[in-house]
Structures are given as structure tokens and as C-alpha cells.
With several copies, the nearest count.
Chain A
């Protein structure tokens, strides 16, 4: 990828369309994860235009079958499209929970009816999903969940509480893990789709240290769910969830190497010396190391992507990439704060520019990268066991 050649084929097509249709006002502005919920984005007129154009082009779910709202592109063209978007700081507006997590899971495990019912709305960015997995006190030990789901003959009856349900307050639907057998741990869990408008579903936002509230508590009080909304078989939801979590980790590590280069900001805020070097040697050394790791990380994503295209499985890399992605993104947020100095500490109000406020919020939010989607520690445990084949620690189960 030297960028020196003129593009041809699908790359040329994608580039032309993106240049004609992507609103420049949005460049490099998404994802803004600490407030990356639909309600925020939809308040932006350009964002709406962009979503609708992408929906019409079917490039919000470029690799999905046409019958389910996708464009049916092959993996190579999907990658080219992503590269061309990254080139100009564009993004996929459909890339929310439904698209990154539930979509691929339904494609693998859903019935034809479930796929037809749910995928087109996701591909068009019209139906918002949330993930009802975590429960209070469970933390990383997901399988200890307690939300009960009982078979009432013509429907399921669900009773319990979820937490860390991202975007639940704006979501139309929820995919949830529920306990259908209390005598087993993993083997007593099922995977259920719940309409958020069902009576008995209530949500309450949790305020985070970054000031945003896209996480919620979700209360399920005698919620009646149609029998058809079970994905896979009863008590086999844990396997589906593990697969879905792979998609999640994968989507979380994507884009971590993104964002505009810190170089212009660094030159502006730190100044340059007589040799044209950034004037503060200590910060400069850290900026260089960061730039190198970002490039190596992005080369790694490209390499693994090319391998997958050629049939080399990339699953073993997923937990490692998740942690590397958190690292580079947190490092970037740290450096941004360092560059801004006193101007990077603003919470609201006058005295601070929009980017300055955003840098502070983003820095606070970045600490979550190594917690959600499976913590840093959990990823390391998984990688030690599955990727490296190291022996099990004698953990009491």
C-alpha cells in the first residue's frame, strides 16, 4: 500500500463514491465512543444524511447477503471499502451493537425467519440493539448470571436485572443471556431476543466518569417473550455468546489504530527546535514510540485480514488484538492530554475549545477500553490458554 498508484476496479469506485457522498464535516469525528450512541449521532444532520446514503448504497453491511439488506461484497472488497473509508476519515454509521455483534451471530445461528425479521433493519441503521449479558456483581464471571427465564407454554417469562447494557435507553431490541436451567452453570444459559417495548422492561442510565451515560441498568419484571425469539436451542446459549463475544472483541480492536496523526498537534503545541524536531525531547520520544506502535498495530490488522481472506484462521489473534488495540488507544489518549497541558483538563464551558474538552472526556473514557468487551486480564487468560496452549491455572470453579 504505497498509495502512489492510481486506484482501479472496486477501489476506484469506492473512492469516487465516498468522496462524492461522505460529509466532510464528519471526517475523523466517529467513533466518539464515550458518546457513541444513536441519540447523539442522530442529532447531527450530516450524520443522518450519511446514514441514509450508506443505507441506499447498501454499504452499511457490505458483506451481508443482498436478501438481508447487505451489498453481498466479497471479503476483499469489504476490506478495500474499509481502507478507502479510513483514508479520508470516514466511518460506517451502521457499525453499532446490532451490526458488529448480533448480525454475524444471527447469520450463523439464526433461523431464516429471524434473519429476515432483524437483519435488514440493522443494515439500514433503523433498528438499534443492545446487549443484555452482564449482571450486577458478576463482573468478568459472565456465566454466573441469574436472570431467570421460564417456559410458560406459549411464551417465555423473564425476570431479573442486567447492567452495563450499552445504549439500552435508546435501543429498540435487546439480545440477552438468560438462565433456563439453575442446575448447570454454562449449560443452563439461553440466548433470547427481547423487544424493548415489552411491558416490564425498564432502563436507567449509569453516569460514567467521562460524564456520558450510554451504559444502563436494565430491569426485567415479568417480561413475556414470544417462543420464536430464542436463538439456537434451549440451554445452548453460552456457545452462541462466546462466538458473539469474539465478534465483539474483534470489532473493539478495529479502529483502535485510527484517528488523525498526533504530529500536527504536537508541532503546534510543543513547538519545534532549530533542527525542525519537536522541542520537548521526552514527549517527542514517547510520540515516536506511539507512532511506531500504531503503525505496527495497523500493519498487523492488515496482515491478519489478508490471511483470513486467504484462508488462514485469525481467531487465535482476537484476544491479543483486543489488548493491543486498548493499549494503543489509551496511549494515544494519554499523549493527547500531555500535548494539551493545562488546556486538556477542561470539563465544560468557556476557556476550552471543543477538541480540548473532547480530549479530556476521551481520555477518561479510554480507561474503559481495557475493561469492557472482556477485560484486559480476561483476554490475557484466554490468550494464554487458547493461543499459547499454556496449562490451566488451578482455579476453583
Chain B
């Protein structure tokens, strides 16, 4: 655990308590059963917003608390423990980052206060039905008069069914990272349609179709030349937040498994006394320790706007992906047959591991990115 300020410690404790009271894993099961169109429980998110979490990164002049990345990481870690579905990450962190880093004053004033209260959800529309690679965005934005025309498909868009606006990454020139532009597009823009995607973790995601959506120059975040760099910044913030959430999920999966090892009997002895399982448990614990260090360092580097933030973010996301996968698999394995059943929680962690790992770059992507950034 990082050394926290008093405020941070309070925030974490409040989040832990809220999650235990209001959003245990049964809340996820209830949401999956009721299947609201949003892909999360709107009442729970309203509750979070009421506590100020939706605006935790929003500048104070726009109604937020500007609490920083270490702070939002503490909440996301607690949410990750019980796999809480909400747009806190997709909108409260990523959407807010896109607007804070790239939008003009008018757009910021239009959207940030509403995000902070939970009224509005703004998410990033990035992926194009394949492997994560921000440098290879294909959806075309072409000049049309004073504005742009966008044509193409974006999928999956996390929390895309609930979103009131999208930050759409599009190809404005050339290839590679340099020709990327980001456009802020309201969900009711003519030509924009969406359909829900059913993914294994049951959270909300959309397939977005842009059929000659036209926007003005003022819809562009940052500039046409700097869109790629801006996108990297936004993504790195999202990745660090997601890594914190994944750390929480992995920690809980581990603790649940350790509890089981201490209560389940086989062949007349507690299975936690079997040395082979003990050593594997210690191995998992060591990975959790390393992952926590990387996640905390990445969040702190973002708060400090430090030059090594991209490397630390890739380190954190890569380790979080490896660790959550490993712990979730061991959770299933050590629980045996019951861990394979739909009624047991292990499968929920396993499914979330796959989705979270693939989101904004898998472990493999981030190992490669770390290597490139480090000069390998």
C-alpha cells in the first residue's frame, strides 16, 4: 500500500465501505440479470456521482474536485474488487481527460460540469474490431467545407450505449500516429447510430456506425497534427486507471482463493496445507506486490506529469494484465469444478481478466511498447 495522505486514506476507506455495502459481486449479478440498456446500474452510478467520484478529475472551476490520479486509482481499485460496472473509468477518467487535455473553453464548460454531476457520459471511441493499435486507426475523416465528414465503424466502445457524446479517433492524414484527429461528437448527431455488443464480461459496450457524420472544426480536440500525441496521453491515463481497477480485481480474486484454501478439505487435510499450492500462492502474492508497485508509480507519475509516465503506465498495464490473468486462472483451478460453474464468482473474474487485458492494449502490446520506449 502506498503511503497515503489523510485525504487519500479517507477516500479509499469510503470507497471500500461503499463497495462492500452497496456493490458486492451480487450487485453485478443483479445488473447482468436485469440487463439495463446502459450495461451498468444507473442507480449505483448516480450514487457514485453524488459522492463526487464522477467529478474527481474535473477541475474545480467546472464543479469537480481535481483530486488527481492516485486518488481516482484508489476508488477504481476498490471498484475492481467486486467487479463494479460503471462509466467512472470510461467517462469520469478517460472522457474527462480528453476534454481537459484537448477541448476548448466552450466545450469544457458545456460538458465537464455535467460529467461531474453524473448527468452526462462522454467516452472514447477508438477500437475498430481488432487488436488495439492506436497508430493504425482507419476510420476516415475528410475535409468538407469548414468541417469534417466521418465514415466508418468503431467497436467496441466501452459504455457506448450510455454515452451522450463520443471522442472519436479518426484518420485525417497519412498513416501512423501522426495523421490522427480526435472529434467530439454528440450521440444524437445525424448519421451516428449504435447497437449494443454482448461481451463476456457483461458490461456495456457499443458498436458505433458513423455514416457521413459531419462536424465543424470546433469539434476537433487538439490539432490535426497533435491528435496522435493527445490520444496517447488520454490513453495512458485510462490505462493507468484500468490497471488500478485490475489490481483490485486480482487482489480480491487472490484473497477469496486464499480463504478457500484455508477452509476446503481434501484427503483429510486443508488444501491450503498442500505445499505445491502454498508455493503457487506465494508466487501469485509476489506478482501482486510487483503489480501494486507499478500501478502506484504510474498513477503518481501522471500526477507529477513526469516524463517517464508512458513507460510506467505500460509497465503497470502489462503487469496488471499478466497478474489478473494468472490469479483468475488459479482462482478457477484451486476451486476445482465449482470454480467452473456459472454460479461461482471465479468465472466472473476470469471473464473480466480477458476484457480488461485486451482493453487499450494487452500485456503483449505493453511489453512491446515498454521495450520500444526503453530503447530495446
Contact = CB atoms under 8 A, between A and B. Distances in A.
A323 to B, nearest CB: 7
Contacts of B105: none
B345 to A, nearest CB: 10
Interface stretch (A106-114, A149-157, A240-248, A367-375): A367-375
Contact of B199 (A323, A345, A395): A345
A15 B240 CA distance: 33
A285 B261 CA distance: 35
A141 B267 contact: yes
A157 to B, nearest CB: 28
Contacts of B195: 350-351
A342 B156 contact: yes
A277 B129 contact: no
Interface string A253-288: 000000000010011011000000110111111111
Interface stretch (A22-30, A115-123, A202-210): A202-210
A341 B362 contact: yes
B368 A288 contact: yes
Contacts of A2: 301, 304, 306-308
Contacts of B318: 292
A305 to B, nearest CB: 10
Nearest to B276: A377
A299 interface: yes
Interface string B300-329: 010010111000000100110000000001
Most buried by B among A208, A287, A295, A349: A295
Contacts of B362: 338, 341
A269 B273 contact: no
A360 B200 CA distance: 8
B272 A390 contact: yes
A306 interface: yes
Interface in A288-313: 288-289, 291-293, 295-297, 299-300, 302-303, 306-307, 309-310, 312
A320 B319 contact: no
A339 B365 CA distance: 11
Interface stretch (B21-29, B70-78, B79-87, B334-342): B334-342
Interface in B13-68: none
Contacts of B372: 277
B131 A277 contact: no
Contacts of B200: 345-347, 360, 364
Nearest to A395: B267
B333 A371 contact: yes
Contacts, number: 259
A31 to B, nearest CB: 17
Q: Which secondary structure dominates chain B's binding surface?
A: helix
B367 A139 contact: no
Nearest to A289: B367
Contact of A350 (B207, B301, B364): B207
A125 B346 CA distance: 36
A9 interface: no
Contacts of A158: none
B360 to A, nearest CB: 10
A211 B367 CA distance: 32
A68 interface: no
A344 B207 CA distance: 15
Contacts of B367: 282, 285, 288-289, 292
Contacts of B301: 2
A352 B207 CA distance: 11
B371 interface: yes
A208 B376 contact: no
B200 to A, nearest CB: 5
A296 B290 contact: yes
A131 B202 CA distance: 33
Contacts of B258: 388-390
A197 B372 CA distance: 57
A345 B276 CA distance: 32
A338 B293 CA distance: 26
Contacts of A351: 129, 155-156, 195, 197, 207
A384 B266 CA distance: 18
Interface stretch (B109-117, B183-191, B216-224, B347-355): B347-355
Given A341-B132, A389-B262, A134 B364 contact: no
Nearest to B314: A292
A292 B297 CA distance: 13
A396 B282 CA distance: 22
B275 A393 contact: yes
A38 interface: no
B145 interface: no
A342 B293 contact: no
Given A342-B358, A345-B200, A375 B350 contact: no
Contact of B364 (A211, A303, A338, A397): A338
B376 A141 contact: no
B281 interface: yes
A394 B372 CA distance: 49
Contacts of B283: 380
B286 A323 contact: yes
Given A141-B267, A349-B197, A282 B364 contact: yes
B273 A370 contact: no
Contacts of A208: 340-342, 347
A193 interface: no
A193 to B, nearest CB: 24
Nearest to B364: A282
A396 B269 CA distance: 7
21 contacts: A207-B343, A209-B342, A267-B375, A284-B371, A287-B376, A291-B370, A296-B290, A299-B290, A307-B2, A317-B289, A320-B286, A341-B132, A342-B359, A344-B354, A345-B355, A346-B199, A367-B332, A367-B333, A388-B278, A394-B273, A395-B269
Given A299-B293, A312-B1, A345-B354, 20 more contacts: A2-B307, A207-B342, A209-B347, A269-B130, A277-B372, A284-B371, A288-B374, A295-B315, A299-B296, A300-B289, A303-B292, A340-B131, A343-B130, A367-B332, A377-B277, A380-B279, A383-B282, A384-B281, A390-B278, A392-B273
Interface of B: 1-3, 127, 129-132, 155-156, 195-202, 207, 258, 261-262, 264, 266-270, 272-279, 281-283, 285-286, 289-294, 296-297, 301, 304, 306-308, 315, 318-319, 329, 332-333, 336-337, 339-343, 346-347, 350-351, 354-355, 358-359, 362, 364-365, 367-368, 370-372, 374-376
